[in-house]
Structure 1
Amino acid sequence: MATERIRDRTAKRDLHDDDMDVGEDYVPYVPLAKRRAEKYSKLASKKGLDFGSYSNNADYGSDPNDNGHRSSRARNGGGSGSDQNRDDEDDEDDDSAAKVGPRAGVSLIEQSVEIRKAQVNAEEAKTDAQKAMEEEAKILAAVAERKQLASAEEISKGIVYTDPIKTTWTPPRHIREMAEEQITAVRQKYHIDVDGENIPPAIKDFRDMKLPQPVLDYLKAKNIKLPTPIQMQGLPVALSGRDMIGIAFTGSGKTLSFTLPLVMRALEEETKMPLAKGEGPIGMIVCPSRELARQTYDGFVAIAEALHKGGYAQLKVLLCMGGINMQDQATIFYGGIHIVVATPGRLQDMLAKKKFNLDICTYMCMDEADRMLDMGFEEEVRTILSYFKHQRQTILYSATMPKKIQDFARSALVQPVTVNVGRAGAANLDVIQEVEYVKQEAKIVYLLECLQKTPPPVLIFAENKNDVDDIQEYLLLKGVETVAIHGSKTQEEREYAITAFKTFQKDVLVATDVASKGLDFAEIHHVILFDMPKEIEDYVHRIGRTGRSGKTGIATTFINMNSSEQILLDLKHLLKEAKQRVPPVLEALEDPMEKYKDMGVAGGCGYCGGLGHRVTECPKLEQQQKTKNSGMSRPNERAGNEM
């Protein structure tokens, strides 16, 4: 019985199919690929494109002899074949329109493969120089992601100053009437490079800068008869109220370039209206180390006394740094304060305690600005800026200021003028640089022989405090009058050492880098670097303690296998730039910069300014990244240097 039921059901199904084959309303099924091809052909004919080849290929999977007698949808009651065709065409309208184009016949996978091939070919077509420059640009862009150097209030309120501060100082008429060609000729003669808008002209005489007679007499007594190149251009820019970045080699007279404009502004304000108790300062100088702050303070005091003796108002100068008792200067707080010379930590502390305020302060100078920012004082400087109530004139000075620091510093400046005498980071050409290979165990003994090169005083630099103490003890045992300074010594010991050395009571000063930044030792003829520093900028600052004010000096540097090859390459290029003798041990070093020269890429590192490497191999950048990742402060930098 079951077999008969299956046979009857099959016969009825076949009869039903035969009836469907001969129906009058029957529309044969057209494959989807064929319908798409027909639609492409119609659209292509309207747009004048050739899609014939694709239309032929579009029938893949269909049998040309197939008459399409399929009726599954009609059998299931889903509507007629023509309705199905229309529904399918409507569903495919968007896709069909999107695929119309010259590459409609190419699958997306094939197109992506072609795009990748094109990118690879374009990358291979780039020269090695282009690849190197792109890689360095990415690194510098990543490093440059630092907050704007401005106060939190200015950033939050979006305060942007567009015009420089106005001052009453103007150059003499005969200077103002000079033709642009004459001004350019003066700058070219003294190798002064300037960058900015509406730059004041360079002035070759102090009298034309309209300085008071007592100041001129003071300069004459100090045997300063004519301004140095950085003073020729830096003084007029600062006196005009312009923000400035000043770059010049060590011993070129940068300190006078920012002290005299502040003295003139303070004198003008005091003459117009004397300061009352609690007012001031009118301007301030921020220094990275105590020794430099003390030296700058002494310079201000000397100029202020000269002006007072010449019949001008008494200017009060406050020294604000760690290691000293501020009560010793209590009398200054009885009246107004005209000038403050400070280190960042103590200045921040005094402002927080409201010992004085910056309500009328319109002048701020950061001496050795790049060293200060590199040493981690950036947050202190930003906090100090938050105490300003209005716009100020900002001046930054240093002997070594890499481009990345210049770009960052400009975030706080208004229409800045960059004054550059020589290459930023270049060594002083008045210093004879001698480099000697000395084994580590023989260095301290070889010191005695090096001391015979020149008469005292001699300055010896060592990288760490223990070496400083060992050298001092050894020389004292050998009968050499020696003093030493480093960050762990008390302020009294440090000041005694500096004073005794400057007044020729002691023949040798042994120091870490606390004595390398900005200190002026006019009579030193010889500087010895007991070991090569880790950064070429520190080398430039160390040897710059001699050869100052146009005098010639000698710098002897000990190198050995403990010195990194990277810093030795920087030293090699620095010696070549200064046309100094390069020892055979440095000449034998394989120079990776040669390949960059072959690629047509000039210059050195865009981060630290070293000439012997590119930013991709910068040891300073690598060290700072490690320090940042570890969250630790760098050793021997801030410890005891300021506060």
Structure 2
Amino acid sequence: MSDVRTNLVAYLLWGATCYGEGVIAGRNHAAHGAQQGPFQDRAVFFSLLPITVVWVRIIAMFNTCWYIHRNIFLMSHTTFHRTTGFDQFSLAPLVQQGVTEAGFSEPRPIQVQTIPAALAGADILGLAQTGTGKTAAFALPIIERLVAERRPGPCALILAPTRELAMQIHSDFERLAKFTRLKVITVFGGVSERPQVRALRDQPDIVVACPGRLLDLMRQGKAMLAQIKILVLDEADQMFDMGFLPDIKSILAKLPPRRQNLLFAATMPNEIRTLANRVLDHPHVVELAHSTPAATIEHALFRIESDQKIGLLKHLLDSDGFTSGIIFLRTKHRARRLGVQLNQMGHNAVALQGNMSQRQRDLAMEGFRQGRFNILVATDIASRGIDVAGVSHVINFDVPNTPEAYTHRIGRTGRSEQSGKAFTFVSREDTKILRVIERSLGKTICQLPSPKLNSTAVHSAKTRRPRSRKRRSTRGGVSGSGKVLSSYRTANKR
């Protein structure tokens, strides 16, 4: 209908202006020839005839009509067809369909700054906190490119520090590539390598891997990566903290030299900066306040004695605003013990530690995501892979050892532009590391007054212990919450 209106307006204007335009052109057809419309070349030929003025007038009329029609058409389409949201990236229809199905409407800042450059083939250096939407920032350009250039894979490799993060990235890729025929697989330790080897033989398009297991398979000749065109190093600073830097360098040495590289990190220690300088070629840099917690996180501290931490924790967990939370401790033994105590206090808690089998970790994370457990007790080894929507609280039961760990821990809440709260328990021996964290943040962390605690509740929570080691279930799947996890698995079997 809009095209009909456009044509009607154009020809009405033509009828009103053609006579005057023709007269002007007849008087000075040389000047009018500078417009170079589609019919202008005919005017040059017909001007040689005796009836020059007549022909020039006719050609001028056609030229005027053409210009009016073109300009009105462009104006109407510019006005009524402006691109918004993810349409601005001009993604392939199948990719855009996946974006819409995933519920993405407006791109987030890191996506706006990263996707166009990545689509153009540039290397990317992204400095951004977790929870800012960076997975989609590199996933969409990869999917878009592989949809347009289908070839035997694997063509894209994403390296991540933890199994949980690798699984989360895999899940995001599958959602966004839902309507394409791209195959995405994961490669990580803690499980049998046989299914992963079979999946690699099928030449998947995208591989999401942890460095240790991938390097093992490469050395055995079971992971062939000669076709890699895109490499992503996600959470590169965490991979360095976990000692993966030598493995990463070994993997890089076996990849094709001509490829696109994308490196993302929340912080930029010297070692990662050196790696970035080595890997990236004139990268497009995206930096989003990487040294401080997200504005959506309200973080504060409590100064409290170590023997009062359990009582304060119980007070926070029983508060009205608490819906689900992650509690961080330094060691797996403390995490396991706290998981036991919280379950004895009547909470649905599950502990997540580095020495658990992959099945145990999967059961724990699945239960937490589905809401069967509303408290996750974790150590730093697992903190980077936790990406669960709607976490209302993060509690640092133990102060983290580094400023980077502080930022990563509390980044588990306030994700996807939702608000969250993070509290840190600070005892006397934590004063030194607290000063280091505050110096890194560039400001003092707000200190809240300690609430009045019920001394009876504090004493009972502190002195309770598991009844017997023999009765603690190891078959349940997760230390410190075997009974809860056993019931969860039983319910799923039904």
- What is the aligned partner in structure 1 of residue 246 from structure 2? 379
Match of 1:241 among 97, 114, 121: 121
Instruction: Return the letter of the residue paired with 2:337.
Output: D
Indicate yes or no: 2:301 matched with 1:435. yes
Indicate yes or no: 2:278 matched with 1:411. yes
- What is the aligned partner in structure 1 of residue 369 from structure 2? 502
Describe the shift of the 1:356–1:515 C-alpha distance in structure 2 as closer, same or farther (beyond 3 A).
closer
Q: CA deviation at 1:231?
A: 0.6
Q: Distance in 2 between matches of 1:322 and 1:204?
A: 42
> TM-score scaled to structure 2, two decimals?
0.70
- What is the aligned partner in structure 2 of residue 555 from structure 1? 422
- What is the aligned partner in structure 1 of residue 334 from structure 2? 467
Indicate yes or no: 2:434 matched with 1:568. yes
> TM-score scaled to structure 1, two decimals?
0.54
Describe the shift of the 1:552–1:563 C-alpha distance in structure 2 as closer, same or farther (beyond 3 A).
same
Q: Distance in 2 between matches of 1:268 and 1:215?
A: 11
- What is the aligned partner in structure 1 of residue 155 from structure 2? 282
Indicate yes or no: 2:312 matched with 1:449. no
How do residues 151-300 of structure 1 correspond to structure 2 at under 5 angstroms?
A: 205-270=85-150, 274-275=151-152, 280-300=153-173
- What is the aligned partner in structure 2 of residue 131 from structure 1? none
CA RMSD of aligned residues (A): 2.2
Instruction: Return the letter of the residue paired with 1:303.
Output: L
- What is the aligned partner in structure 2 of residue 24 from structure 1? none
Q: CA deviation at 1:415?
A: 1.2
Q: CA deviation at 1:330?
A: 5.9
Q: Which SS does the other structure have where 2:169 is aligned?
A: helix
Instruction: Return the letter of the residue paired with 2:171.
Output: D
The superposition leaves residues 251-284 of structure 1 with CA deviations (integer Å, 9 ceiling, x where unpaired) of 11011111112222222221xxx42xxxx21011
Q: Distance in 2 between matches of 1:414 and 1:333?
A: 29
The superposition leaves residues 518-546 of structure 1 with CA deviations (integer Å, 9 ceiling, x where unpaired) of 53211101111101111010000000000
Q: Distance in 2 between matches of 1:538 and 1:525?
A: 19
Match of 2:234 among 367, 377, 395: 367
Q: CA deviation at 1:504?
A: 0.7
Instruction: Return the letter of the residue paired with 1:568.
Output: L
* 5+ residue gaps, structure 1: 1-202, 309-313, 586-643
Indicate yes or no: 2:405 matched with 1:538. yes
Kept in 2: contact 1:284–1:342 (CA 8 A): yes
- What is the aligned partner in structure 1 of residue 263 from structure 2? 396
Q: Which SS does the other structure have where 1:522 is aligned?
A: coil
Q: Which SS does the other structure have where 2:166 is aligned?
A: helix
Q: Distance in 2 between matches of 1:418 and 1:575?
A: 22
Once structures 1 and 2 are overlaid, which stretch shifts more, 489-498 or 400-409?
A: 400-409
Indicate yes or no: 2:174 matched with 1:301. yes
Q: Distance in 1 between matches of 2:117 and 2:202?
A: 31
Instruction: Return the letter of the residue paired with 1:226.
Output: E
Kept in 2: contact 1:245–1:406 (CA 8 A): no
Q: CA deviation at 1:334?
A: 5.0
Q: Distance in 2 between matches of 1:372 and 1:457?
A: 28
Q: Which SS does the other structure have where 1:562 is aligned?
A: helix
The superposition leaves residues 35-72 of structure 1 with CA deviations (integer Å, 9 ceiling, x where unpaired) of xxxxxxxxxxxxxxxxxxxxxxxxxxxxxxxxxxxxxx
Q: CA deviation at 1:491?
A: 1.1
Q: Distance in 2 between matches of 1:378 and 1:516?
A: 19
- What is the aligned partner in structure 1 of residue 446 from structure 2? 581
The superposition leaves residues 137-192 of structure 1 with CA deviations (integer Å, 9 ceiling, x where unpaired) of xxxxxxxxxxxxxxxxxxxxxxxxxxxxxxxxxxxxxxxxxxxxxxxxxxxxxxxx
Instruction: Return the letter of the residue paired with 1:307.
Output: F
The superposition leaves residues 412-458 of structure 1 with CA deviations (integer Å, 9 ceiling, x where unpaired) of 21112221012x32111110012001211121232111112333221
Q: Distance in 2 between matches of 1:455 and 1:496?
A: 23
Kept in 1: contact 2:332–2:353 (CA 8 A): yes
Describe the shift of the 1:355–1:330 C-alpha distance in structure 2 as closer, same or farther (beyond 3 A).
closer
Kept in 2: contact 1:284–1:339 (CA 8 A): yes
Instruction: Return the letter of the residue paired with 2:170.
Output: Y
Number of aligned pairs?
A: 367
Once structures 1 and 2 are overlaid, which stretch shifts more, 371-380 or 546-555?
A: 371-380
Q: Distance in 2 between matches of 1:349 and 1:526?
A: 38
Q: CA deviation at 1:583?
A: 5.4
Kept in 1: contact 2:97–2:179 (CA 8 A): no
Q: Which SS does the other structure have where 2:417 is aligned?
A: coil
Kept in 2: contact 1:204–1:232 (CA 8 A): no
Kept in 1: contact 2:162–2:385 (CA 8 A): no
The superposition leaves residues 88-137 of structure 1 with CA deviations (integer Å, 9 ceiling, x where unpaired) of xxxxxxxxxxxxxxxxxxxxxxxxxxxxxxxxxxxxxxxxxxxxxxxxxx
Q: Distance in 1 between matches of 2:327 and 2:425?
A: 11
Which of these two proteins has the greater Rg computed from alpha carbons? 1
Instruction: Return the letter of the residue paired with 2:300.
Output: E
Q: Which SS does the other structure have where 2:107 is aligned?
A: coil
Q: Distance in 1 between matches of 2:424 and 2:84?
A: 36
Kept in 2: contact 1:317–1:337 (CA 8 A): yes
Instruction: Return the letter of the residue paired with 1:581.
Output: C
Instruction: Return the letter of the residue paired with 2:166.
Output: A
Kept in 1: contact 2:302–2:449 (CA 8 A): no
Q: Distance in 2 between matches of 1:335 and 1:409?
A: 32
- The percent identity for this pair of structures is 35
Kept in 2: contact 1:250–1:518 (CA 8 A): no
